Structure 1
């Protein structure tokens, strides 16, 4: 190939009369020109018939795929923005519910504390009342015991003073009357 270019280059650089004098350049014949035009036309027709449609089809398919991809990307952006907005709404809703639950928990805690406080106060009052009753019953028992002891001491003292024997039946009556006097 290089050989052809090296031979053709000097011919292209020479002016037309110089080429005619050398006798080297022949003009194309009309039939050759028509044959080349016909061949070129057939080549164009074959290209338009068999090569161009699949090529255009592939280009259109690729353009459609690109357009679909861009549309899907746009839909994705919109879906992302709506999902982000939905996420924000859900977070706000969750925060609101959490604050409601916390408030309910605080209210329930206060109710439980108040109920426990009331229960503790009633238990305290019950225990105090039981203590008072027990103290009163012990005091009454001690008073009875003290009265009996005082009665015995009075009798012992009286028997020693009188130095004589006292009748037990009379003694019980005397002690009972003394008890009645002491109570009033």
Structure 2
């Protein structure tokens, strides 16, 4: 260090100071400004990216809210459709039951009418058969009774007695 103090030169010190100041000015103009500009641009870019990220986050929240709303509306619509389907199913079942009951009632009425008609036809046929048989029996009885004169008189008398009573 003593050697430096002994060999100190004012001219060299001056030129070194001038070169140092020139170097500082050159660095300021060509290095620090671009570096500071780059740092500022980088800082602005980071701020813009953060703002964009915040906007994207808000948009995502809005989209999620919209999706939830749409999902809720879809659920409500699905429930309404299911309710309508259940009501339609119940109505169809009720209508089918009513139609089946009406058809069964109609079939029963038709069957009863058929049975009644067949019953009347059977009774008419039975009456006709009974009448024919009665006439045949009466004919045979009359033949046997009219063959004898005593029986004829008895028959006439009994008929006259019956006629008087009625």
Q: TM-score range by the shorter chain?
A: 0.7 to 0.9
Q: Which runs of 5+ in 1 are unaligned?
A: 1-11, 13-18, 165-184
Show the counterpart of 1:48: 28
> Does residue 146 in structure 1 map to residue 130 in structure 2?
no
Q: Structure 2 CA distance, aligned partners of 1:119 and 1:146?
A: 40
Deviation at 1:119, TM superposition (A): 1.2
Show the counterpart of 2:110: 130
Deviation at 1:101, TM superposition (A): 2.1
Matches within 5 A, 1:31-180: 31-163=11-143
Q: Structure 1 CA distance, aligned partners of 2:48 and 2:132?
A: 120
What is the TM-score when the length of structure 1 is the normalising length?
0.67
Deviation at 1:32, TM superposition (A): 0.9
What is the TM-score when the length of structure 2 is the normalising length?
0.73
Deviation at 1:159, TM superposition (A): 4.1
Q: Say which structure, 1 or 2, has more relative contact order (CA 8 Å, 6+ apart).
A: 1
Q: Structure 2 CA distance, aligned partners of 1:129 and 1:93?
A: 53
Q: Structure 2 CA distance, aligned partners of 1:81 and 1:105?
A: 35
Alignment RMSD (CA, Å):
2.2
1:99-128 Cα deviation digits (max 9, x unpaired): 322332232223222222221221121111
Larger deviation: 131-140 or 48-57? 48-57
Structure 1 consecutive aligned stretches of length 4 or more whose deviation exceeds 6 Å: none
